[in-house]
Structure 1
């Protein structure tokens, strides 16, 4: 979320619509969008309004979004061996075996990034495509294939695998990598090319492979996701909690995706716990949710990094293995530690 210094400016715009009308969530957020309020700002306001609505009606937010369609939410995390074992096939197999022992196990790893971390390795060809991405070297693609082959050998069919990405590749590089990974039955390949540069390139990758393509962490609000859905540039949408336009826009994105046979898998890495519990409420109510990411926090430079150890709420977020059962308390489900919140220069 934005620096706390922006709060007075946001409050100045919002107060005329909130006073005496704070439960009109749809009208308020529509007005904020039409007024050009930054997506991150209206997202923060929207989460607060839904939380307030739940507290005043005595219901969890997911009940107000249509009621639960599941009794728990499946989650996944990033994982990889130790840095000095990244090139070790047995280390990847052992990781797969270990994770597969837990029901519902799923993991993500960015093997392009992992390959770059190997000292002295040339990860990319010299050429740069129009979309700004790069062509991975043959050795880079071979490393990617090794990683997912070994994870599959170790985890068998008890572990779901996700290839992370950060828009590094050209479309040609992404397609070439995906072709080598199709036989390992990935849950998805995430953001192989940058959608903010060209959704058309992302759509080209999606059409060229049987590996489902996911993207969304760098998009903002209903408008961006509508374009993505219309182009069928991905089949899994990674909604970005701080920039999705709040639950008001997120549920509309989920509905549009459902009509097109697409799934929702909200992104979560280095955000705050409020973002996560908001997305968890959406996941309880949206039929086409696949899974929810549950990675590290950004609460402070020296504070807890685990979602389950956050300081933002008075009580811990409890995750059981690869599943999360949301609170049945009103609103978003958790009480804020106001002393901690006001001590922050940034609200993450």
Structure 2
């Protein structure tokens, strides 16, 4: 059996929220994982807790390793540093399993329901979710950073942005014009601010009608009553979903109460970890659409269970990714596998700019449709020069000989 011989982590100064994990085995293969937020804390967990637990063990025992890491005493049931570390390791182990079997990950985890899936564009900018600091607030004098500076575009002319997306084959877009108002008044949104936040939705519908789906992201910023007011108003524009509408998405009864109050479909789950959290939120009848992030929920092993729960509750599934290229590839494999998956999230600004600087292959997207990867494993690997980047922090834990 192939034994794990090395756990390597890589952090880059330009992408301080991200950390990549490479797991090497004694048969010469390398598996790749990734996670996001608190990268230095995750690095410490990986080398101080995870590496001693997995070095020398068989890489084929993915279920046993992930079950042990996800069931640890500290950090379980939330997207803690421990769970994010476990998620990255699990993804890397499935990458190894696919490579060893000579099949893509979506085959290794049980086979595909489909050979392609629609993508939607999260309308972010080029540096979204990669640098440290506060949320981006669009200044009236701010200049566009490029043709895909889509956050600025949806605040300035969402109709023109929708036309641009349709021209590239995208049939769905996600925007968040209410965030700035929550920074000053998260418990109440005035009618004036509500009307301002609705303006991008009006412009989209005026420009392209119903030819594009619109999702609204609320980033868990609002109290229940304020969120209900926003959701009620958004229903007029036939939004596909309103995502993470309230501050505490782990308050499942509050999310369920909001869902009962509004006609707008509610999406959530990217901040939850472990199958039990999803069991409880679905049992509360709180969601219309299930979202999960493979780098936060426990990796592909937990994601398969969550996808099965979504199917059992007849709920559509939409894997999250506006973080990094490995999360995107892992999410795509799950989207191809999961029976109720309807979309894979992408950020075209990231695909067109910094993702190609990190990995050697990215999803093939044609006319708004992502095609199934055909290479063994995840179908992507870190470019060799990533480790040589100036300021890169590379740390290794090796098995003793």
Do Structure 1 and Structure 2 share a fold, with TM-score over 0.5?
A: yes
Q: Report matched runs for 1:156-167 at 5 Å.
A: 156-167=209-220
RMSD between aligned residues: 3.0
Aligned to 2:357: 311
Q: Report matched runs for 1:313-332 at 5 Å.
A: 313-332=359-378
2:155 and 2:337 map into 1 onto residues whose CA distance is 40
SS of 2:357 mapped into structure 1: coil
Number of residue equivalences: 324
SS of 2:214 mapped into structure 1: strand
Q: Report matched runs for 1:90-109 at 5 Å.
A: 91-109=157-175
Aligned to 2:63: 26
Quick check: 2:154–2:175 contact (8 Å CA) kept in 1? no
2:187 and 2:69 map into 1 onto residues whose CA distance is 38
Quick check: 1:99–1:155 contact (8 Å CA) kept in 2? no
Q: Report matched runs for 1:198-217 at 5 Å.
A: 198-217=251-270
Q: Which has the higher strand share?
A: 2
Distance 1:143 1:251, change over 3 A: same
Aligned to 2:83: 39
1:88 and 1:45 map into 2 onto residues whose CA distance is 36
2:178 and 2:61 map into 1 onto residues whose CA distance is 46
Cα displacement (A) at 1:67: 1.5
SS of 1:266 mapped into structure 2: coil
Distance 1:100 1:213, change over 3 A: same
Aligned to 2:344: 292
Quick check: 2:289–2:318 contact (8 Å CA) kept in 1? yes
Distance 1:192 1:155, change over 3 A: same
Quick check: 1:93–1:150 contact (8 Å CA) kept in 2? yes
Q: For residues 205-255 of structure 1, what are the alpha-carbon distances to aligned partners after superposition, in whole Å with 9 as ceiling and x for unaligned?
A: 111222111112222222322222121221212212321101000010011
2:354 and 2:366 map into 1 onto residues whose CA distance is 10
Cα displacement (A) at 1:308: 7.0
1:345 corresponds to 2:393: yes
Cα displacement (A) at 1:265: 1.1
Aligned to 2:283: 230
1:171 to 217, 224, 227: 224
Distance 1:152 1:64, change over 3 A: same
Cα displacement (A) at 1:110: 0.6
Task: With the length of structure 1 as denominator, give the TM-score of the two structures.
Answer: 0.83
Name stretches of at least 5 consecutive residues in structure 1 with no aligned partner: 117-122, 128-132, 298-303
Q: Report matched runs for 1:237-248 at 5 Å.
A: 237-248=290-301
